[in-house]
Amino acid sequence: MKKTNAARILDRAKIEYKIIDYDVDPIELGAERVAEKTGEHIQFIFKTLVLSGDKTGTIIACIPGASELNLKAFATLSGNKKCAMVPMKNIHELTGYIRGGCSPLGMKKDFPTFVDESALELDYIFISAGIRGKQLQLNPQSLIKLTKARTGNISHLKSQKV
């Protein structure tokens, strides 16, 4: 099994993880499809979002797959007045990753990272391994420590309006 940069970073940090392979649906790359393809509950699948803050520049959010980012709460936690999603066409240039394969580990630069606090209630979460079709299962505390992430209530379920 070929390891990704994200997996090699976990190896160097001596962090336990599993690589989970799944069949990629090129039309539907969302977390719901990843949950379906891996057989895991959506609450364990965390998606990595790349944003730009008006004061900090590029920032990373990891939130549960069934949730949406609360932009106002995220801006506050990240020290910004406002933040916005980075256009899809700029993701690869900034991070080295593409949509559906963006990992909070192994980006071109170490951007400030923020993880939704719901991860702290779980024994493990899944994040992208850095390519489509591979997820990393790891302890959320390990991810937080390795990325020096801050945690906070930065997401809400898609059906809720904030």
pLDDT digit string, tens, across residues 12-37: 999 999 999 999 887 888 888 899 89
Kindly give, in sequence order, each residue whose CB lies less than 8 Å from that of residue 41, ignoring residues fewer than 6 positions away: 35
Q: Counting beta carbons within 10 angstroms of the beta carbon of residue 62, is it exposed (0 to 12), middle (13 to 18) or buried (19 or more)?
A: buried
140 occurs within a structural domain: yes
33 occurs within a structural domain: yes
161 occurs within a structural domain: no
10 occurs within a structural domain: yes
Please tell me the predicted confidence (pLDDT) of residue 99: 87
DSSP string across 38-62: HT--GGGBEEEEEEEETTTEEEEEE
Asked whether the predicted pLDDT for residue 162 surpasses 50, the reply is no
Give the model's confidence band at 1: pLDDT under 50 very low, under 70 low, under 90 confident, else very high: low
160 occurs within a structural domain: no
154 occurs within a structural domain: no
153 occurs within a structural domain: no
CATH (domain of 97):
3.90.960.10
pLDDT digit string, tens, across residues 39-78: 999 999 999 999 999 999 999 999 999 999 999 999 999 9
pTM: 0.92
Q: Is 7 left (phi over 0), alpha (psi -120 to 50) or beta?
A: alpha
157 occurs within a structural domain: no
Please tell me the predicted confidence (pLDDT) of residue 105: 97
Instruction: Say what the alpha-carbon torsion angle 25, 29, 35, 36 is, to the nearest 10 degrees.
Output: -30
Query: What total number of domains does the chain contain?
Result: 1
**Residues 113 and 140 sit within 8 Å (Cβ to Cβ):** no
Domain that holds residue 134: 5-148
